[in-house]
Structures are given as C-alpha cells and as structure tokens.
Structure 1
Amino acid sequence: MNSADLGRRVGVPSTALFTDQYELTMVQAALRAGTADRRSVFEAFTRRLPEGRRYGVVAGTGRVLDAVENFHFDDEMLGFLRDQRIVDGPTVDWLADYRFSGDIWGYPEGEVYFPGSPLLRVEGTFAECVLLETVILSILNHDSAIAAAASRMSAAAGGRRLIEMGARRTHELSAVASARAAYIGGFHTTSDLAAGFRYNIPTVGTSAHAFTLLHDSERDAFQAQVDSLGRGTSLLVDTYDVTEAVRTAVEVAGPELGAVRIDSGDLLLVAHRVRQQLDELGATETKIVVTSDLDEYAIASLAAAPVDTYGVGTQLVTGSGHPTCSMVYKLVARARSADPADPLLPVVKKSLGAKSSRGGRKWAARRLDDDGVAEAEVIGSGEVPAELADRQVQVQLVKGGEVVGREPLEAARERHIAARAGLPMSAMQLSRGEPVLPTEYV
C-alpha cells in the first residue's frame, strides 16, 4: 500500500496546542494529587442527532489517528507554557515526555451511528487520555457533520455525480477536511487541490464567469477554453444568454462537448430547455452540470430534471444547517490506582435534564432483522451476548500507543455506502423524523 492510498501525512505539525487550557491544568492538579496515573476510560458520543437527521456518519477517524500520533510538545511550545505560567514546572517536564501510550477503539470511519453510540473509546492513564479531548472532538464534530450532510445529498442525488466545491466558503484548512469528509459521504470529486494532494481525492475544475467576461465575446472565451482543455471540457453557459451560449458552445466544441454548467436561474426549467437544445444540436452525450447554492432538498427537487452532476459548496461545508454533531468526551470508568490489576469502576456525571450519561466501558453492536436490515443499535457493558458477538461495531484503532487502524480513504467511502444500504428505507427520507434505529441499552 503506497503513501497515496493512505493520504500524504508529510509536514503535519504537532497537534498538542489544539486543545483547551483546562486540559493541561487538570493534568497539573492530578499530578499534584497523585491521581494522574489512574487507569481511565473516556468515550466520545452524542446524546442526540441534529434535529431531523435519521442517522449520523462517522468521519475524521483517520485525521484523529494523525492527531494522536502527532500530539507532542516541542521546545517552543513548552517555553510558551512555562513563560505564560499556564502550568507549573513539574507539569512542563511531564509534558515534554508526553506520547500517548494507551489504546483506542472506535466505530470505523464511514460507519453510521446513533444517539449514545460509543464512537471512540480512549483507554490509558487519566492524564494521557484527558489531553486528547479537545482535538478529538474538534475533528469528529466537524468532519462527521460534513459527512452526514454529504450522505444526505448523495442519497438525494440518486446515483448522479457530486462535486464538492466549498473551499471559498470556509476556512482554508476546514476546506480540506470538508472535502475529505464529503468524499466519505458519497461525493465523487473536489475542486480543492490541497484535498486532492493530501488525500488523493479526484479533482475537477474548468472556468468561472470571470474567464468569459475577460474575453471580447463568449465565443472567444469558449474557443480559448476548448483550445486549452479540449472538447471534453465543461463550458459555463449562463454568463449572458443561456440559449445563445449553448448554441455557441456546440458550434465551438462540436457534439463532443463534455458538459455545460448552469449556475443560476430556475435550474429545473433551464436544465430541461438546455437538454432539449443540446439534443437538437446533436450533442446528445453532452452532460449538464448545475451549481448555485444547492443542498439536499434542492438536489431532491431536481430529481426529474435531466441533470448529470451537482456541484455543492456553502451548504455542504457548513453541514447543511448543522455544522457540528454535539459530540462529547466523557470519563466513564476509572481505577482507584495506577495498578493494572485494579478493577475499573463505572463513573457517571450526575446532571439534570438532557446532560445525563451512562457510566462503564461500553461495547456496541447492531442487531439485524431476518432480512439482514439493521433494526437496533445495542449498547452495553460487560459481556457481549452471544447472538451479538459477530455484530460488534467497534474496531481497535490504537494499541499500546501505536496506530493499527489506519486505512485508505476509499475503504471508509465504501464502508459508508454499505452501512447506509443496510439501514431501513426510511433512513433516506429528507423529512424530519426520529433516528431510524432505536438505541437499546443492555
């Protein structure tokens, strides 16, 4: 397996300061109290899905593994912590030697999840596990939100191609992570070259309205693009008059024209008119690409239109109204000492209202009906019932501090397609509703 299969991880900086200050001050206090080395289990989960969502999508796991692997403090960082008196000298010395040495289990990337699903289980000493809280949540909350939106859009597209093109609508680093998450969720290509370089995602792109406006005529612009990129290129046809532009595009490129792109107007009506015109001009194989503030609802509304490809930007990289999954990272079990033989005791935060959680180191399994369709997310502590032993969802990702669960991005993408196909048909509905699977605790 070559480096391109796993994503280029060259030049990845330390992730140790991608954290909140209280993670470090907790370590300082625990070191002073003699409790920092107590064996502990933390779990990342969400208490509920975003309103109206039927399922969640796990994304960002590969980036989490990179973050854990690169979580270490260099001399400059340690100097900053010392000079700003964020933590005391003994804590700085402890951080200088920090490397995560525990175990991590979790839902594999691309898998679906539901309220209460133990998406990530981090085991080690209290100090080494608590430091990872913020960076883990930062990655999972963002990437899973984008992947869930992408999955809904993919389902709505019904097999038609999807282009991720939201780089200009979000932070430049978020754009790369968003393209990766969108690819897992079912998108086919991205316009973002950094995402293509880092994660080997197919990239696409031709021209914007500025290129047409640069030239003295639309014909000149089309001719320049075809001369440069070939007849299989995609020509943008709504800078001036769409009908005239389509006619000119076919005259310039011939019936071998790859595609035309429509970026404004009543897309349903315009797409039908453009398809009819292309066919009449003999360009029967020329594809139609539509863009312009699309989301899953707009894509679904175009199901009857002769559209071949959707380009989605703003709504995708903002999670289509839900930019976070509200995941939390909670201590669920700990020992009374650092002794490996000391048993783990369930612990739980006693909160009023919706912030309650369940203690104990948990497993998760997905129960299927007689037709092989998922019917429940089953979560428990202790022994796994025999009938669910081969339906467990979690896999080991880190063992003794070493990453063992890294995989090609294509594997996560394929897993999501299979996981979504294994859900009840109602999971594909865009109308508001409850999670498609109930969560059962045993």
Structure 2
Amino acid sequence: MNTADLGLPVDVPSTALFTDHYELTMLQAALRGGTADRHSVFEVFTRRLPEGRRYGVVAGTGRVLDAVENFRFDAAVLDFLRERDVVDEPTLQWLADYRFSGDIWGYPEGEVYFPGSPVLRVEGSFAECVLLETVILSILNHDSAIAAAASRMSSAAGDRPLIEMGARRTHELAAVAASRAAYVGGFATTSDLAAGFRYGIPTVGTSAHAFTLIHDTERDAFRAQVDSLGKGTTLLVDTYDVQEAVATAVEIAGPELGAVRIDSGDLLLVAHRVRQQLDELGAENTKIVVTSDLDEYAIASLAASPVDAYGVGTQLVTGSGHPTCSMVYKLVARAESADPKAPLVPVAKKSAGGKTSIGGRKWAARRPDADGVAEAEVVGTGAVPEELADRQLLVELVKGGEVVAREPLDAVRERHIAARDRLPLSATQLSRGEPVIPTEYV
C-alpha cells in the first residue's frame, strides 16, 4: 500500500501513529496483566444523530480498510515511541510484529444508518483491536459527516449536478477525504486534483476572479479563456457588471458558450435575469452555475430558479454545521480467558449521563413495510428472526486480517442513492426532525 493512496505525506510510513497515547499504554498493561490475548468484539455506533438529521450515511469504509492494512510499526515509529518512553521494551517488541489478523464486519459503504446501528464490528485479540480505535473513528466520523451533508445537498439539488470545491476551506489532507465522501453522498465532480488522482473522481474548474482582474479588460480575459479552453468553457460573469459580462461572453463565444458562473449577489434574482438575457441573445443551451457559500437550504431555495449546477465549498467540508457524527468504538463482548475456546461474555458501560451501551455482538437488519419502504432499524444480539434473515446489513470486510471487500467508488455512490430512495419520503425533508425510522432492539 502506497501511503499516497491514503492522502498521507510521503514521509509518513504508516498509519500506526494515527492513534492516541493511551491505546499503547492500555496495550502494555494488558500484555503484562494477561488480558491482551482475550478474544474481543468492538463495535462502532452512534447514540444519536446530529440534531435535526433524519438519517446518517456510512462513508470512509474504504479508507478504513486501507488504514488497517497499512497499520505497521516500522523502525522509525518504534524509535519515536522508544525515545518518548511511551511504552516499555517488551511492548515495542510486540508492536514490531503487529499485523491485524482479526475480522471486520460492517455496513457496506454508502448505506444509511441510525442511532444504535452497529456500523462496524472489529473482532480479534484485545491487543490488536484496541489499537485501531482512533484511526477508525477519525475516518468514519469525518467522512460520514461530510457524506451526510452531501446527501442532503444532493437531495435538495434533485437532478442538477453538484461540484465539490471546498479544498481551500479545510486541511489539505481532509480536503481529499472530503471530496471522496462528497462523491459518495451524491456530488458529481470535485475541484481537488489530489482527490481526482487518488480516487478517480471527475475534476472540473476554469477560472477565478483573479484571472479576470489580471487582464486589462473583462473582454480580454474572456477572449483569452475561450481561445485557450474553447467555447464550451464556463465564464465567471460577476467580477464587475453581470449584465455587461453576459453580453460580452456571448459575443465572444457565441451561442455555443458552455456556461456562466455566478458567485455573488441575490442568486435567485440574478439567475433569472441571466437566463432571460442568455435566451434573448440566442444562447439557450448555455448553462448557469452558481456558487457562493451554498448549503442544502440555499440549494433548496433555488429549486425554482433556472440554475443548472451548484458549486459547494465551506458548508460541505464542515458537515453543514455538523463536522462529526459522534461515533464511538466500544468493547461489547470479550472472552472469559485467553483460551481460544473460551465463551464470549457481553460487556457494556453502565454509567449515567446518556453514555450507556448495550453489550453483546450485534446483528442489524432493516425491516420494510408492505411497500418495501424502510420502517425500522432492528438491532439484536441473539438469533436473527427468520423474516429478517435476508435483510441483514453487516457484510464481511476483513477476514483473518485480509481485506475481502474492496469495491469501486462508483458502486458505493450508487448504493447510497438506492439506500436513500428506500427510506420514507420524509427522510429528505430539510426541516428539523427525529430519525426517519426508529431503532428497535430485540
């Protein structure tokens, strides 16, 4: 695995340090105390959705698989841990041979989830599973938050394409992950070339206001762009006077002008005026792209406007107000001893304050109504009811340490659209509300 595929700087050899200090101190104590080899079951879930959200979106699973595969403690990492006196020498020797050899099950990427959904299950020895907590949560919490925002925006946009353009509004590595998550959630393209390179996402882009300003006149800028990129390019028309810019754009490119972009002002009003002007100039097929701090609510407000595509940046890469999903990684079952044949015992945190968990290895299924529309997320620890046997959600992702479920990103994107379409219609409402279906425990 090339670290570049993970969005890592070339001088970072592995994902092993994408963890917290206390994961390693727990490991050291467990090795010394004799519990490190107990078979354990960890689950990732969230106790609640972000306020007002009707459903969540599982995203980042593919990146999790890459991270687990690349979780290696090489010489440089071990030297760092030794110099900082993070753990003792026996623990360092154990880490030197670390390879995750357990099993991982999870909701397939792109699927929707609800409070209590066991979106990922990690099984193996306590020692090898506990180390993965932070890297798994950091990926799933970030990517799922972005994908959920993207899904809401995609639903609001309907058939109009969405362009992800938030790279300059977040960390450079987070930007690549955000582009991928946005694509899962329904965005069509990205402006981020690193995301296009690493994940095959289509990339788009033409020019910014600086390009117009560097020229002596707007006409000179438009002429240079059309001469270079062709009449099908997109011209930015709000640097000075929009009406004048549109007239100049059509004069230079003719009715074959691909699109105009509007990045400021009252987008609803300006879009209508621009559409009328384009049509009067004979550019009926020239499209209108709007940008400027859009979110799902702004997109929905433009549903009746003659807009053909939306570009979204800041609000997308920050999860449209919810930059995390508050997923947790909890031990839910462990063996009574290190004996491979020892039975599993359900365990769970029972403290007050809303952080109580339910113990036991879980299955999950989505029960449909008579019309095939989802009506409940059913989660259990015992036998799966016969009527839900073919509705189970978890799939095998890693078996004996080997990844068994890699898939193209386009397949993930299509899965999300299909999963969202099977939810009640109210799932796509932007008004605040509870999860669109309840979670039932059996």
CA distance in 2, matches of 1:9, 1:215: 39
Which residue number in structure 2 is paired with residue 48 of structure 1?
Answer: 48
Q: Is the 8 A contact 2:44 2:119 kept in 1?
A: yes
Which residue number in structure 1 is paired with residue 192 of structure 2?
Answer: 192
Which residue number in structure 1 is paired with residue 278 of structure 2?
Answer: 278
CA distance in 2, matches of 1:159, 1:176: 25
The DSSP-based 3-state class of the residue aligned with 2:354 is: helix
Cα deviations across residues 353-395 of structure 1 (Å, max 9, x unaligned)?
2101100000000000000000000000121111000000000
Structure 1 residue 347 corresponds to structure 2 residue 347: yes
Which residue number in structure 2 is paired with residue 92 of structure 1?
Answer: 92
Amino acid at match of 2:217: S
CA distance in 2, matches of 1:116, 1:371: 25
Which residue number in structure 2 is paired with residue 242 of structure 1?
Answer: 242
Structure 1 residue 393 corresponds to structure 2 residue 388: no
The DSSP-based 3-state class of the residue aligned with 1:92 is: helix
The DSSP-based 3-state class of the residue aligned with 2:66 is: helix
Amino acid at match of 2:165: M
Which residue number in structure 2 is paired with residue 431 of structure 1?
Answer: 431
The Cα shift of 1:83 comes to 1.4
**How is 1:7-406 mapped onto 2 (pairs within 5 angstroms)?**
8=5, 13-406=13-406
Taking only the aligned residue pairs, the percentage that are identical comes to 84
The DSSP-based 3-state class of the residue aligned with 2:85 is: coil
CA distance in 2, matches of 1:56, 1:340: 36
CA distance in 1, matches of 2:72, 2:6: 16
CA distance in 2, matches of 1:111, 1:138: 19
CA distance in 2, matches of 1:212, 1:137: 43
Cα deviations across residues 264-312 of structure 1 (Å, max 9, x unaligned)?
0000000000000000000000000000000000000000100000000
Structure 1: give runs of 5+ residues left out of the alignment: none
Amino acid at match of 1:130: V
Amino acid at match of 1:136: I
Amino acid at match of 1:161: P
Q: TM-score, normalized by length of structure 1? A: 0.98
Amino acid at match of 1:410: D
The DSSP-based 3-state class of the residue aligned with 1:147 is: helix
Amino acid at match of 2:93: D
Q: TM-score, normalized by length of structure 2? A: 0.98
Amino acid at match of 1:275: R
CA distance in 2, matches of 1:364, 1:341: 26
Aligned length: 437
The Cα shift of 1:351 comes to 1.1
CA distance in 2, matches of 1:301, 1:204: 25
Amino acid at match of 2:68: V
Structure 1 residue 421 corresponds to structure 2 residue 421: yes
Cα deviations across residues 193-250 of structure 1 (Å, max 9, x unaligned)?
0000000000000000000000011010000000000000000000000000000000
The DSSP-based 3-state class of the residue aligned with 2:328 is: strand
The Cα shift of 1:423 comes to 0.1
CA distance in 2, matches of 1:341, 1:417: 42
Amino acid at match of 1:209: H
Q: Is the 8 A contact 1:8 1:197 kept in 2?
A: no
Q: Is the 8 A contact 2:262 2:289 kept in 1?
A: yes
Q: Is the 8 A contact 1:45 1:116 kept in 2?
A: yes
Q: Is the 8 A contact 1:364 1:378 kept in 2?
A: yes
Amino acid at match of 1:229: L
Amino acid at match of 1:74: D
Q: Is the 8 A contact 1:109 1:412 kept in 2?
A: yes
Amino acid at match of 2:202: P
Amino acid at match of 2:223: Q
The Cα shift of 1:54 comes to 0.1
CA distance in 2, matches of 1:181, 1:208: 25
CA distance in 2, matches of 1:315, 1:25: 38
The Cα shift of 1:8 comes to 5.0
Q: Is the 8 A contact 2:6 2:67 kept in 1?
A: no
The DSSP-based 3-state class of the residue aligned with 2:26 is: helix
